[in-house]
Amino acid sequence: MRSGDVLEMEPLGVRVEVLRSGEETGGELFEIGVSGRPRGFLDQRHVHPDQVERIEIVAGSMKVTMNGREHILSEGQSIEIPPGMPHTQVPVGHGPGRVRIQVRPAGQTGAFMERLAKLSRDGQFMRGGFPRPVAGAELVLEFSGAGHAAGPPLRIQRALAHTVLSIAHPMRPYRFVDEWDVAAPPEAVFDAVADSRSYPQWWRPVYLDVRADGPAAPGTAASHHFKGRLPYHLHTRSLIVEITPPRRVVADVDGDLRGRGMWTLTPAPEGTHVRFDWEVHADRVVLRVLTPVLRPLLRWNHNWAIARAKEGLEPYARSARRRYDAPAGVA
């Protein structure tokens, strides 16, 4: 996403123009211009857990309510909403308006806006501007770090979302999004995550063996042997389909798991912000059988494995420059 990009969200009553993206500001902020008259879930009481939101009125008027107080803002006025503060922001008067919104840090906001635009195109919003149940459940599970409804408590929202998805898609893929910061430069972190031959060195004890065709490049294939806390081992084969140093690497996966993994790296004030998107189907018979019943346990297993990645990636990336001395194709 870049400045100048326009996101049409007609079911929500708005048009969004990207003024500064997280990629362009090193993750410091995300800034948009919003025109129209927002409706539906956009004007419900919500909270941004870890971001400061600044709203400036360019045209029209808006009512912002927080801390039990109403603030009527007109052209040229602005307000800042601290992290964790439940609030609403609704237009007042008649006709469309325009506001400039900044969130600091950028976090998931850009991806969240792109998802809203896609849901709008795909007809996933009902007439009143609220997402259809499955789309809403996926928003809660994937983007609650960027913002979520002020009530009920988030843990209950997430539990309800899991229930909706389990009813709608009992054999749906596993979809995980994990993010954390690493105190190392993006180039060093990228070297570690892009070349899976390094995984047994830093992602321990999860990865037991990786054998690859060669260094990370489009078309490079690798065989993986790994495990979690549950009593089974997994064997997969990955194929790199996209690689953009030092920003992103995408690989398709088949074997006991089938799907796609994507590492996205952005500069952060003290190093690198890491995002790992992992969406897979369980093709191993035992996992297909267990999925509808034990999905929360399998998600716990994934969380344990990611915790090991968080423990090992930073010290590995911060170590001295590495060379792979083993013969090609051996981890």
Give me the DSSP letters along 260-276.
EEEEEEEEETTEEEEEE
Counted domains in the chain: 2
Query: Does pLDDT of 330 surpass 90?
Result: no
Whether residue 327 is predicted with pLDDT greater than 50 in this model: the reply is no
Contact status, residue 262 vs residue 249, Cβ threshold 8 Å: yes
Judgement on whether residues 147 and 179 belong to the same structural domain of the protein: no
Is 223 inside any structural domain? yes
Residue 325 maps to a domain: no
- The last residue of one of the domains, among 114, 147, 167, is 167
Whether 122 and 255 share a structural domain: no
pLDDT tens digits, 34-62: 999 999 999 999 999 999 999 999 999 99
Same domain, 141 and 107: yes
207 falls within a domain: yes
Domain of residue 227, residue span: 173-318
Strand order in the sheet with 248-255: 174-182, 271-282, 257-268, 248-255, 233-244, 221-227, 207-212
Domain boundary among 148, 167, 186: 167
Phi, psi (rounded to 5 degrees) for 107: 55, -135
Name the pLDDT band for 299 (thresholds 50, 70, 90).
confident
- The model carries a pTM of 0.56
For residues 109 and 196, state if they share a domain: no
User: Considering the chain, what is the average pLDDT of its residues?
Assistant: 89
Residue 324 maps to a domain: no
| Residue that is last in its domain, among 98, 132, 167 | 167
72 lies in the same domain as 200: no
**Over the stretch 257-279, which tens digit does the pLDDT of each residue have?**
889 999 999 999 989 999 999 99
CA–CA dist 87, 70 (Å, integer): 10
Compute the average pLDDT of residues 241-251.
95
Using 50, 70 and 90 to split pLDDT, how confident is the model at 292? low
Mean pLDDT for 20-32 is 94
- Residue 4 DSSP SS3: coil
**CATH number, domain at 195?**
3.30.530.20
The answer to whether residue 253 sits within a structural domain is: yes
Assign residue 20 the CATH number of its domain. Answer: 2.60.120.10
CB 208 within 8 A of CB 224: no
Asked, for residue 227, whether it belongs to a domain, the answer is yes
* Lowest-confidence segment of 71-75, 113-117, 168-172, 315-319 by average pLDDT: 168-172
Q: Are residues 204 and 313 in the same domain?
A: yes
Between helices 186-194 and 285-318, what is the axis angle to 10°? 150
**177 lies in the same domain as 311:** yes
Are residue 42 and residue 153 in the same domain, yes or no? yes
pLDDT in tens, 176-227: 999 999 999 999 999 999 999 999 999 999 999 999 999 999 999 999 999 9
- 330 inside domain: no
Would you give the DSSP letter of residue 42?
G
pLDDT for the residue 324: 33
What's the confidence (pLDDT) of residue 328?
Answer: 42
- Please name the residue that has the structure tokens 């716990």: 300
In angstroms, rounded to a whole number, what is the distance separating the alpha carbons of residues 287 and 8? 40
Residue 24 forms part of a structural domain: yes
Question: Residue 297: is its pLDDT beyond 80?
Answer: no
Same domain, 152 and 100: yes
- pLDDT at residue 317 is higher than 70: yes
Render pLDDT for 121-162 as a digit per residue (tens, 0 to 9): 999 999 889 999 989 999 999 999 899 999 999 999 999 998
Residue 101 reports pLDDT greater than 60: yes
Distance of alpha carbon 224 from alpha carbon 234, whole angstroms: 8
